[in-house]
Every structure is written in C-alpha cells, then in structure tokens.
Amino acid sequence: MGVFIKYGEEKHLKQIVNGSLRFSPSETYVKMEVEQHNKGQGDMLDGKWKIHAVNFRMEDPDNGRVVFEGKNCTFTVSIQDVNSMPVFCLSYYGNEFISDESGKKNIQLSSEKIEKIKKDFPKATHGLVIFNPDVFIKEVARAEGHDIISDHVHYFNFDINEIGMASFLSTGDEKVLPQSGGQVFTTTYDKRYRHLLCKDNNFKNQDEYRFIIVDELIKEPKKYRFEFKSAYKIVQIDELLTGVEVTA
C-alpha cells in the first residue's frame, strides 16, 4: 500500500487527470540548476556519474594507447543520449507515511518534508495524490505504445565512489558486490537509463519515482496521451500536513 504524489500547479495536475503526461528530457533539470541556481527540481548531475580517482588512466579501446593519465582527480561521466531521454517524475510514499485509525487511512507528511518540497518545487501549489500506484504504473506503461520503464530512484553519496552505484549501473542491483579476485562493472548503452535512476543523497527527501521512455529521444518537453483511471484527489500542499484520506 502506498500513494504517488505529483507536485505542481493545479492546472498542470488537471492535465494529467485528463490523460496528458508531460515528459521532459533530463537535460531540463541540468539546465534548471545552472540557470536558476535551484538545486532541488534542478540537478546538474542528473543522468551523470561523478567519479573520484586516485590514479586514473584512460585508454583508446581500439589500440590501447593511453590518452589521459591523472592523480587525485574527480570527473563526471555522461553517457551518450542519456540527457535526451524523456523523464516523468513524481513522489512515492509507502506505508510508513499512512496512518490507519478505525479503518480510516490517511497520507500525512511532516512539516519538515513539506517545507523541503516547497523549497525544491517553488511553483508547486498543489499535489495530485494517486491512490493506486500499481494501476497508474500500468497506465503510463501503455502511453502511445512507447517502451517505458519505471522504478524508484536510488540515492547514493556522490562525494565518494559508492560500490552500490557501480553495481546498479552494471547489473541493475545495487546489492551485487565484487567477488574475491576482483570484478569488472560495465555500463552499456542499452542500459543507459539506469543513470537516470541514480541521484545524490541530497535529493532523498523527494522520495522520487521515475518513468523513462527508452525508445525516443527529445530536446524539448513533450506531452504523451494515456488513459488515466486511477482513483485520485488534488489537494493543496498544506493539506498533507493534517492528512488526506486514502479513498481507494
């Protein structure tokens, strides 16, 4: 049991209810932090991998020639086309946020979480509470016949080389650890969307869930039609402080 909540302006949330989803290339969030200095909705490292190296050597895979060597350097890896992949984001809140008193269930968020949401999404005035996450996931997966994957965002400490992130990018499971004798973690183009499912711990408060279209690249936000049938309620953000009844 859980709920999705999409934060935004009421008129935009009503568009979702009417069957229109606005996906944005993840480059949108990169530019947002650069241009607006808003590290919340904006994220310069969206879809990127920050690596800290003590001794680093880059070789040409065709001939083995060393093209770069360095010590104690930090660099950012950006996989081809990742930031042009369409992304739709919202928040997921599980049972720990839902109270049950006398058979009446309510989704309720702390004042600290609400204030952080307002800071991260300054234009948001309302929340679209979706009471059937599993149903909604299936609805979005059928949007205009596209190949769409979805998952919870995995949060890592980008200030260190977390082995869990390397594992997730390579295998899809952050708990797969290197075996004795060493193990090579390899990221591939067809699994590049995994970079969009990794974010820094600074964003953990957003409890983000992402939908990613993997068979199309875009440069500007684009709307996709889908059939919305999930039970829902649109509320002012502050109503989540006192609790919103889960009616599904």
Burial 154-170 (b: 16+ CB within 10 A, else e): bbbebeebbebbbbbbb
* Domain ranges (residues) in the chain: 3-48+80-245
Quote the pLDDT of residue 33.
Answer: 63
How far apart (Å, rounded) are the C-alpha atoms in residues 76 and 50? 4
Map tokens 């440069």 to a residue: 219
Residues in the chain: 248
How far apart (Å, rounded) are the C-alpha atoms in residues 224 and 11? 17
Quote the pLDDT of residue 28.
Answer: 85
DSSP E strand stretches across the chain: 3-8, 20-25, 48-59, 66-78, 86-93, 98-101, 104-107, 126-130, 148-152, 154-156, 198-200, 208-213, 222-225, 232-236, 244-245
pLDDT digits (tens, 9 = 90+) for 53-108: 787 777 887 888 888 787 778 878 888 999 999 999 999 999 999 988 777 889 99
**Ranges of the chain whose pLDDT falls below 50:** none
Give phi and psi for 71, each to the nearest 5. Answer: -130, 145
Quote the pLDDT of residue 148.
Answer: 97
Among 105, 87, 121, 126, CA closest to 5: 126
Q: Is the dihedral of CA 234, 211, 138, 170 positive or negative?
A: negative
Quote the pLDDT of residue 40.
Answer: 64
How far apart (Å, rounded) are the C-alpha atoms in residues 135 and 141? 10
Quote the pLDDT of residue 183.
Answer: 64
Among 66, 75, 39, CA closest to 206: 39
